[in-house]
Structure 1
């Protein structure tokens, strides 16, 4: 019997790892989605009563490595009009947000949120049935989207420069 090895369960990230909106929103394998805390720079927008964080274009990157600003956005959970006013952030402003990455059910918004660890555990529990595993992941992609369970938000200036600096640091430290 030639079974693929089961990937290790993701470990919770207990520090605010710097991520891009694109890294969360474009991840198609929810088992590989960041698990835990993160800090993301983006532009705050209000869409249909929900706040979202749009990607920021880093102009110093080659065109084939970055999307135009505002192309994609990440749902922010827990940000209300009152909280936005209290934190002095407004739609259209550049912000740094800190929180925890979750998977939000966009078909049934009041249902329980998932994490990449939860997806991994459920997938592993179906290891005796590869067809059920495939069905589970397919169904999940139709109903769930990455989101950030917001803990803190702050307006910032010079978002593109901050992102460029963070990407440079990441390039120097990741091998």
Structure 2
């Protein structure tokens, strides 16, 4: 009998884990997407009435390991023009955002959002039907994108330096 190993449900992250825009935007397996709180540094972009957080190029990394600045971006949910004025942030500024990672339906924007935990639970509920599991994951990749349910945003200086230091610290602590 050839069964896939049972993957444990993701645990909610109760601290603002430092992540890169790339780590969320480029993840193709939504069951492995970060579940919970995060802190992300990027450049604020206003695109078609929606705020997004663009990636920052860290020049200290080899070119093969980083994308040019602004190549990809994450949707920021809950950020309005009023909030940007109140927090003194403007499109084009470097920011640190804190919030929760979610999956947003880009085909039907007013649909309920999902989390990695929700994806895992739905996938597990289809365990009796591998074809349905595959179909569900394919549908998700076509209709959903990672986004940040924004709790806080702050303008920062020297984004690349701060990001480099955070990556160095993360490299020293992750083994």
Counterparts of 2:140 and 2:24, CA distance in 1: 15
**How far off its partner does 1:5 sit?**
1.1
Counterparts of 2:149 and 2:168, CA distance in 1: 27
The aligned counterpart of 1:67 is 67
Residue 156 (structure 2) pairs with residue 152 (structure 1):
no
The aligned counterpart of 1:122 is 122
- Unpaired runs of 5+ residues, structure 1, are none
- Unpaired runs of 5+ residues, structure 2, are none
**How far off its partner does 1:149 sit?**
0.1
Return structure 1 stretches of 4+ with deviation > 4 angstroms: none
The aligned counterpart of 2:50 is 50
**How far off its partner does 1:74 sit?**
0.3
Counterparts of 1:142 and 1:62, CA distance in 2: 31
The aligned counterpart of 2:22 is 22
SS, match of residue 39 in structure 1: strand
Counterparts of 2:141 and 2:62, CA distance in 1: 30
The aligned counterpart of 2:102 is 102
**How far off its partner does 1:2 sit?**
1.3
Question: Which string of whole-angstrom CA distances, capped at 9 and with x for unpartnered residues, describes residues 105-135 of structure 1?
Answer: 0000000000000000000000000000000
The aligned counterpart of 1:5 is 5
After superposition, the CA RMSD in angstroms is 0.4
The normalised TM-score by structure 2 is: 0.99
Counterparts of 2:109 and 2:70, CA distance in 1: 24
SS, match of residue 43 in structure 2: strand
SS, match of residue 95 in structure 1: strand
Map residues 136-147 of structure 1 onto 2, 5 A cutoff. 136-147=136-147
Instruction: Give the length in aligned residue pairs.
Output: 175
Counterparts of 1:28 and 1:174, CA distance in 2: 22
The aligned counterpart of 1:90 is 90
The normalised TM-score by structure 1 is: 0.99
